[in-house]
Amino acid sequence: MKKTILVGLAILAVSTSAALAKSHAKKPKPEAAVTSTGSAGPLMGQVSDADRAMYVKNKHDSGVK
pLDDT digits (tens, 9 = 90+) for 23-53: 655 666 777 766 555 555 556 778 889 999 9
Supply the pTM of this predicted model: 0.31
Spell out the domain ranges in the chain.
1-25
48-64 burial code (b ≥16 CB/10 A, e <16)? eeeeeeeeeeeeeeeee
- Quick one: which of 48, 7, 56 has its CA closest to 65? 56
Specify the pLDDT at position 59: 92
Q: Where are the alpha helices (DSSP H) in 1-65?
A: 2-24, 49-62
